[in-house]
Amino acid sequence: MKPNEPISPASSLRRGMRDGLPIALGYFAVSFSLGIAARNAGLTIFQGFLASLLNNASAGEYAGFLLIAANASYIEVALLTFITNCRYLLMSCSLSQRFSSSMPFYHRFFIGYDVTDEIFAISVAHPYPLPPRYVYGAMLLALPGWAFGTALGVAMGNILPSNVVSALSVALYGMFIAIIIPPARKNRVIAALVLVSFAFSFAFSALPYLKALSEGIRIIILTVSISAFAALVFPRNDDEEESADE
């Protein structure tokens, strides 16, 4: 399809569903491990399903389950979920430039509900203007894949032996390792910050006074302080950002 070539709403929806199918399959696999974490936090199958349906974000949702398991307060859960998912604000601002200026606000409102890394990636690759039904098509498969995968993980966590559940829980840590290792290998600053994060996380859990803080407060302090330090000391200039996007 050529740029600016109009297509029918039905075609946009079908194309979005086609491109969203592999995303849904990947979400189902990852969210199964997330369901194990939800089960360990004491959530029921329906609660895990609803949590994933309303918060389609692996890092933010996993952090929320950790706080629930640690009996954190509602404020702690809300703050950490907001901080963890802040990158989606930037994605939403970028994605809004792909839509026609005449597109009604309600489309932007509902699409903003499910701006994930993968849906953002396929959406920005679509020729301008981006039809809202294309994004809806991807969401139509991605959201159920994430929610039902989590529900199945909770259900299997209640059926499988405890040693098998513990083994499956490692899969989610493997996902996070797969996220941080590639950029850390390419950038020594990121690698150093990852190691600093590990060290400070251990220190906060072992040192007097600091270990007395709740797990939620410790995570919030570490997330904000280390990311703010990195942004101030190692800012990215325009040339670096352009070369990274090529």
Query: Does the residue 27 lie in any domain?
Result: yes
Output the pLDDT for position 49: 92
Please tell me the total count of domains within the chain. Answer: 2
Residue pLDDT, tens place only, 217-241: 777 788 778 878 888 888 766 554 4
Task: Please state, for a pLDDT cut of 90, what percent of the chain lies above it.
Answer: 5
Tell me: do 36 and 127 sit in the same domain: yes
Residue pLDDT, tens place only, 54-76: 888 877 788 888 888 888 788 88
**Residues 138/20, Cβ–Cβ less than 8 Å:** yes
Tell me: do 157 and 191 sit in the same domain: no
Query: Does the residue 3 lie in any domain?
Result: no
Query: Does the residue 173 lie in any domain?
Result: no
* Mean residue pLDDT across the chain: 78
Residue pLDDT, tens place only, 101-152: 888 888 888 888 888 878 887 887 788 888 888 889 999 998 998 999 889 8
Output the pLDDT for position 7: 58
Q: Between 196 and 87, name the one with better pLDDT.
A: 196
Domain of residue 41 covers: 9-168
DSSP codes joined into one string, the chain: --TT----HHHHHHHHHHHHHHHHHHHHHHHHHHHHHHHHTT--HHHHHHHHHH---HHHHHHHHHHHHTT--HHHHHHHHHHHTTHHHHHHHHHHTTS-TTS-HHHHHHHGGG--HHHHHHHHTSPSSPPHHHHHHHHHHHHHHHHHHHHHHHHHHHHS-HHHHHHHHHHHHHHHHHHHHHHHHH-HHHHHHHHHHHHHHHHHHHSTTTTTS-HHHHHHHHHHHHHHHHHHHS---HHHHHHHH-
Q: List Cβ neighbours of 198 (8 Å cut-off, separation of 6 or more).
A: none
Tell me: do 161 and 204 sit in the same domain: no
* Amino acid letter, residue 106: Y
Tell me: do 68 and 163 sit in the same domain: yes
Query: Does the residue 181 lie in any domain?
Result: no
Tell me: do 25 and 112 sit in the same domain: yes
Residue that finishes a domain, picked among 168, 199, 217: 168
**Residues 70/216, Cβ–Cβ less than 8 Å:** yes
Q: Between 93 and 163, name the one with better pLDDT.
A: 93
Q: State the Rg of the chain over Cα.
A: 20
Tell me: do 58 and 91 sit in the same domain: yes
Query: Does the residue 4 lie in any domain?
Result: no
Q: Between 143 and 80, name the one with better pLDDT.
A: 143
Tell me: do 234 and 142 sit in the same domain: no
Output the pLDDT for position 245: 41
Tell me: do 18 and 129 sit in the same domain: yes
Query: Does the residue 90 lie in any domain?
Result: yes
Query: Does the residue 175 lie in any domain?
Result: no
Task: Please state, for a pLDDT cut of 70, what percent of the chain lies above it.
Answer: 82
Output the pLDDT for position 131: 86
Tell me: do 164 and 193 sit in the same domain: no
Tell me: do 58 and 126 sit in the same domain: yes
Tell me: do 142 and 54 sit in the same domain: yes
Tell me: do 164 and 229 sit in the same domain: no
Residue that finishes a domain, picked among 168, 202, 232: 168
Query: Does the residue 180 lie in any domain?
Result: no
